[in-house]
Amino acid sequence: MAQQTEAVRRAPLSRDRVLRAAVALADEIGIEALSMRKLAQELGVVPMALYKHVANKDQLLDGMVDVVVGEIDPPAPGSDWKSAVRQRILSARRALLAHSWAAQVVQSRARPTPTVLAYMDSVIGMFRTGGFSVDLTHHVMHALGSRMLGFTQELFDASPSLDPEAQAVVVPADAGKFPYVTELAMAVTHDEESVVGQGCDDQFEFEFALDLLLDGFERLHQQGWTSTNPSGEKTA
Amino acid sequence: MAQQTEAVRRAPLSRDRVLRAAVALADEIGIEALSMRKLAQELGVVPMALYKHVANKDQLLDGMVDVVVGEIDPPAPGSDWKSAVRQRILSARRALLAHSWAAQVVQSRARPTPTVLAYMDSVIGMFRTGGFSVDLTHHVMHALGSRMLGFTQELFDASPSLDPEAQAVVVPADAGKFPYVTELAMAVTHDEESVVGQGCDDQFEFEFALDLLLDGFERLHQQGWTSTNPSGEKTA
DNA sequence: ACCTGAACACCGTTCAAGT
DNA sequence: ACCTGAACACCGTTCAAGT
């Protein structure tokens, strides 16, 4: 009887409720601290109860990615391919950035879920509708890589660095060993002229690279690039 | 006495020997299976013996990255910035690809080790020596991201797929749900004309994107791009 | 048939006891 | 002072026993 009351007090478990709780918990305690056991505790159930809704932890992580990808805005209709792709990718970026663990988890997945596949399909469709050949679209998708979902692996986190400890990474006692790194780090930190007040503006960096790529794609498209005839010269 | 004989039989432990054994073991059994305990067993020592040479597992992984980065060829002297950077990055790619776990581990590191910093310093130096401003070099480095070390996060592994199971990912029963993904996958698999015999040629894709970026960098450099004056127009 | 407590086979790392 | 066995505090998941 007591158990039944408990069960009624809490909404019954469902895959959706498990996934949303996992997302919220990861937002709160970080992805490396998220465990099946802690998630179960958070939901007030025994660990094994989760396994009726997700087959294992990998499937839980897949589901969490789906929740985040579901937060990406739908495509804006009636714009040219370039701004449509740009808008969609920046929306994906907003969704991914809202969950600090999301990029890392996306990268760890072996295979795309149907939800991720649907997103990719819509991006591919924008290029095809914009007149890109299947060939060029293929290579363009590879060149975008994870940038398609709004993030790229920076080699390390040189950025927000309100944390003074981060500065120490680039400027240790032996700064002289890395003159170019030091020069660059100094400029980024002190140059008031530049876009970067102090530290880097990640959003600026992202858009800089994205636009560089989109401009490159446009150029290749206009000159009739194909993988067997990269220069686009007429052969007939 | 017996223990001493054992100790003499095996070369004495050193940080270097620990790291090389870890690299070899990860090559063999995969990074997710690599544990301190297994590494110790492989070296014929008790797990705690490792902790005199590496502070913890994170530091072990840092050291393993250093071993791989140490396998990158030194820069070729006397070439223009573009081919120097291109050659160096493709060499980094060869080193990283020789260890299937390397890209993933590099991505997982919070901060660059001095070895990685030295590599980055040399790449930054190539742009600066080639006449790039500190400002442009900064953004260019961000645009390269992990590509600087020869890898990018593909959104998933659509490629080698000698494994027929991989095909099933893109062409499940409900292929019709993802028309553009399906079209692209079909073209990649069947088109004998294209560079891709069957599946993708990762090396081609990497160089495609790298050259697209390098061409873009060159264009921005030539037109005098700055972050406050992207068009490069003369203002004085 | 459903649910779940205990157990299994691992982890990385601490710590105190041994030499 | 050095080395190391045992222990701690976790994991994800299996499985058999309970209802």
For the stretch A187-205, pLDDT in tens is 887 665 555 445 788 999 9
pTM for the model stands at 0.88
Interatomic CA distance for residues B18 and B36, integer angstroms: 10
Q: Is the CB of A1 under 7 A from strand D?
A: no
Q: Which distant-in-sequence residues (6+ apart) come within 8 Å of A53 by Cβ?
A: A13, A14, A15, A18
**Residues 216-235, chain A: which have Cβ within 8 Å of B?**
216-217, 220, 227-228
Which pLDDT does position A2 carry in this prediction? 37
pLDDT at A7: 40
Task: Answer yes or no: do A177 and B153 touch at CB < 8 A.
Answer: no
Measured between beta carbons, which residues in chain B are less than 8 angstroms from residue A141? Answer: 184
Phi–psi pair at B165, nearest 5 degrees: -65, -35
Identify the CA nearest to A65 among candidates A33, A16, A19, A28: A19
Each residue's pLDDT tens digit, B7-29: 434 567 899 999 999 999 999 99
Pick the more confident residue, A136 or A156. A136
Please give the pLDDT value at position B188.
82
Q: Does B178 touch chain A if contact means CB atoms closer than 8 Å?
A: yes
Q: Do B143 and A212 touch (CB under 8 A)?
A: yes
Q: Which residues in range 5-64 of chain B are in contact with strand C, contact meaning CB within 7 A of any of its atoms?
A: 33-38, 47-48, 51, 56-58
Count other Cβ atoms within 10 Å, centred on residue A70.
12
Cβ within 8 Å of B, A 191-210: 191, 193-196, 200, 204-205, 208-209
| Cross-chain Cβ contact B155/A148 below 8 Å | yes
* pLDDT at residue number B159: 44
Residue B92 has pLDDT above 70, yes or no: yes
The answer, for A171 touching chain B at a CB cutoff of 8 Å, is no
- CA dist., res. A200 & res. B145, Å (int): 14
From chain A, pick out residues whose CB is under 8 angstroms from the CB of B170: 117
Strand C footprint nucleotides (protein C-beta < 7 Å): 3-6, 10-15
Band (pLDDT 50/70/90 cuts) for residue B194 is: low
Interface of A with B in 63-122 (CB under 8 A): 106-107, 109-112, 114, 116-118, 120-122
Q: Is the pLDDT of residue A236 over 80?
A: no
Flag whether pLDDT at A233 surpasses 60: yes
CB contact under 8 A, A135 and B111: no
What pLDDT, on a 0 to 100 scale, did the predictor assign at position B170?
A: 55
Comparing A4-18, A102-116, B84-98, the range with the smallest average pLDDT is A4-18
d(CA A187, CA A49): 54
Q: Per-residue confidence at A8, pLDDT binned at 50, 70, 90?
A: very low
Using C1' positions and the CA of A48, the closest nucleotide is C4
Do A43 and A13 meet the contact criterion of CB atoms below 8 Å apart? Answer: yes
